[in-house]
Amino acid sequence: MKCAPFDYVRAASVEETVKVLGEADGDGKILAGGQSLVPVLALRMARPAVLVDVNRIPGLSSIRRIDDTVEVGATVRHSRLAEQTEHPLLAEAARWIGHTAIRSRGTAGGSIAHADPSAELPVVAVATGATVTVTGPRGSRDVDAEELFVGALTTSIEEDEMITAIRFPQPDRWGFAEFARRHGDFALVTAVVTEVRGRPRITFGGVGSVPQRAAAAEQALADRRPAAEIAHIAAEEIEPTADLHGSVEFRRAIATEMTRRALAQFDSVREQSR
């Protein structure tokens, strides 16, 4: 199929983007990498009146360290995230995103804004306690990742706002494990174990409409309980959904194993840091 007709605007600034989105009155979409948006347009599942291309806006494609965080601009490509060395967990997660062609065009801001519950960057954002900078006609505001994702493909971003940057705290230790039927497919379960500013976090992607943290398992990790016990607690604590890819029981079983693998990597980082 072909996209429905739309107006195209190549924005030169964040201010212009926000202005055009406001004038579109909820009928505008931002075009960055287009890896999620364009297929939806082609299937006519979305019919925006205007597309705002943000690829030429200066200042949105940088990666920089700020204290104990790494700030990633909205138009940073996944391939750059996979290659950078400032934030090893981000690099590991980015290597699991799609295939080479997708990583070369897909963007960090686009992935966060799209809020696919199976995507890698949203779960890493929650796992590290990331902060998302959102800009609109009323200025800029910072939103905690856990508050940004409100449902599958749904965020708290207003229709006349755009993501300009994401700040990912650098974890002291981390472990990442993902299960997909083939490398590059959407994840059925992703488990991320981190220690951020001295506090453990265990987060899952692909098991529900938003990334889920396992608070009881985090406490078990803080208490230095055995890995097998922590993995069991985590899998029982989350609330997976069933779909054509697997039942609730299937996802709990996979979550148990992915947690065990993430914990093994987490512990190996601890050993290396001693």
Do 11 and 77 sit in the same domain of this protein? no
Residue 271 has pLDDT above 60, yes or no: no
Residue 272 has pLDDT above 90, yes or no: no
140: enclosing H helix or E strand: strand 139-144
Angle at 210 between CA 116 and CA 59, to 5 degrees: 55
Q: What is the predicted pLDDT for the residue at 2?
A: 86
235, 259 Cβ separation under 8 angstroms? yes
Distance from C-alpha of 53 to C-alpha of 31, rounded to nearest angstrom: 5
Q: What is the predicted pLDDT for the residue at 253?
A: 98
Q: What is the pLDDT of residues 108-141, one digit of tens each?
A: 999 999 999 999 999 999 999 999 999 999 999 9
Picking from 169, 203, 237, the residue at the C-terminal end of a domain is: 169
Do 70 and 46 sit in the same domain of this protein? no
Q: What is the pLDDT of residues 73-115, one digit of tens each?
A: 999 999 999 999 999 999 999 999 999 999 999 999 999 999 9
Do 163 and 179 sit in the same domain of this protein? no
Distance from C-alpha of 235 to C-alpha of 171, rounded to nearest angstrom: 23
3-state helix, strand, coil in the chain (%, to 5): 35, 25, 35
Do 85 and 165 sit in the same domain of this protein? yes
Residue 248 has pLDDT above 60, yes or no: yes
Do 164 and 102 sit in the same domain of this protein? yes
Distance from C-alpha of 130 to C-alpha of 114, rounded to nearest angstrom: 16
Task: Find the CATH number of the domain harbouring 33.
Answer: 3.30.43.10
| Averaged confidence pLDDT in the chain | 96
**DSSP letter at 211?**
-
Q: Label residue 184 by pLDDT band (50, 70, 90).
A: confident
Specify if 232 maps to a domain: yes
| Sheet with strand 69-73: strands edge to edge | 63-66, 69-73, 162-169, 131-136, 139-144
Picking from 149, 169, 189, the residue at the C-terminal end of a domain is: 169
Specify if 1 maps to a domain: no
Specify if 104 maps to a domain: yes
Specify if 58 maps to a domain: no
Do 238 and 154 sit in the same domain of this protein? no
Neighbour-count burial for 245-256, b at 16+ CB within 10 Å, e otherwise: ebeeeebbebbb
Range of the domain at 214: 173-273
Specify if 146 maps to a domain: yes
pTM: 0.96
Task: Find the CATH number of the domain harbouring 218.
Answer: 3.30.390.50
Do 201 and 239 sit in the same domain of this protein? yes
Residue 273 has pLDDT above 60, yes or no: no
Q: What is the predicted pLDDT for the residue at 183?
A: 85
Instruction: Specify the number of domains making up the chain.
Output: 3
End-to-end Cα, the chain, rounded Å = 57
Do 179 and 267 sit in the same domain of this protein? yes
Residue 187 has pLDDT above 60, yes or no: yes
Task: Find the CATH number of the domain harbouring 82.
Answer: 3.30.465.10
Residue 147 has pLDDT above 60, yes or no: yes
Q: What is the predicted pLDDT for the residue at 274?
A: 41
Q: Give the mean model confidence (pLDDT) for residues 168-190.
A: 95
Q: What is the predicted pLDDT for the residue at 152?
A: 96
Residue 270 has pLDDT above 70, yes or no: no
Helices and strands per DSSP (H, E), number in the chain? 11, 14
Do 129 and 156 sit in the same domain of this protein? yes
